Amino acid sequence: MSKYSEAFKLSVINEYLAGSSSLETICRPLGIDCTTVRSWVALYRLHGRAGIIKKFSHYSGAFKLSVLKHMWENKLACRETAAFFNIRNPACLREWERRYRAGGIDALNPRRKGRPKSMSGQGRTEPEPSSGDDKRTREELLSELNYLRMENAYLKKLDALVQAKRTPKKRK
């Protein structure tokens, strides 16, 4: 939800455009920043009522580039360019410009938000044995398994001895 309703914005804009009072005398009692009202007035003058209603937009890379070119060719400020193209956030133009200078037109294309989708089952393959287990004989594999079992048992016994040494013996 927008902080200010469309009707409220219209009443403030109409009061300012009537010319009976200055921008500061309108904004101060309402607790609104003068630059906010100034941008509402600019949007209203350029786009009418459609300029002040809440708008959710996603812009293509080509549109972003055309906005930047218009801003550069006409030597406009971000606020003026945003008002001309009915873009609500003038600060995003600086971000678009930074991304364009860093990565070209591809950097302006919209990016997906959120986590990337997981891979589908088609591209997955079973992991291959790293030590060449498929080339070893059954006897070699069984002897390695037996060795690993003995090593595991030895380590368990060692751990039990260390734990027994750490705990103090109870006296009766």
Q: What is the DSSP string of 121-168?
A: GGG--PPPPTT-GGGS-HHHHHHHHHHHHHHHHHHHHHHHHHHHHHSP
Asked if residue 84 is part of any domain, the answer here is no
Domain holding 43, by residue range, is: 1-54
Q: Is the pLDDT of residue 149 over 80?
A: yes
Q: Is the pLDDT of residue 150 over 90?
A: yes
Structure confidence by residue, pLDDT tens digits, 103-134: 888 888 887 778 877 766 565 565 555 567 77
Asked if residue 3 is part of any domain, the answer here is yes
The H or E element containing residue 40 is helix 34-47
Contact call for residues 125 and 89 (beta carbons, < 8 A): no
Name the least confident of 5-9, 19-23, 80-84: 19-23
Cβ-defined contacts of 16-25 (< 8 Å, 24+)? 16/41, 17/41
Asked if residue 149 is part of any domain, the answer here is no
pTM of the full predicted structure?
Answer: 0.48
**Spatial separation of the C-alpha atoms in residues 74 and 145, rounded to whole Å:** 76
Q: pLDDT at position 118, please?
A: 73
Asked if residue 15 is part of any domain, the answer here is yes
Q: Is the pLDDT of residue 74 over 90?
A: yes
Mean pLDDT (the chain) is 83
- Amino acid identity at 127: P
Please state the rounded mean pLDDT for residues 35-47: 85
High-pLDDT (> 90) share of the chain, %: 26
Place of tokens 């004989």: 137
Contact call for residues 42 and 85 (beta carbons, < 8 A): no
Q: Is the pLDDT of residue 162 over 60?
A: yes
Asked if residue 38 is part of any domain, the answer here is yes
Asked if residue 19 is part of any domain, the answer here is yes
R_g (Cα) of the chain, nearest Å = 35
- The total domain count for the chain is 1
Q: pLDDT at position 127, please?
A: 55
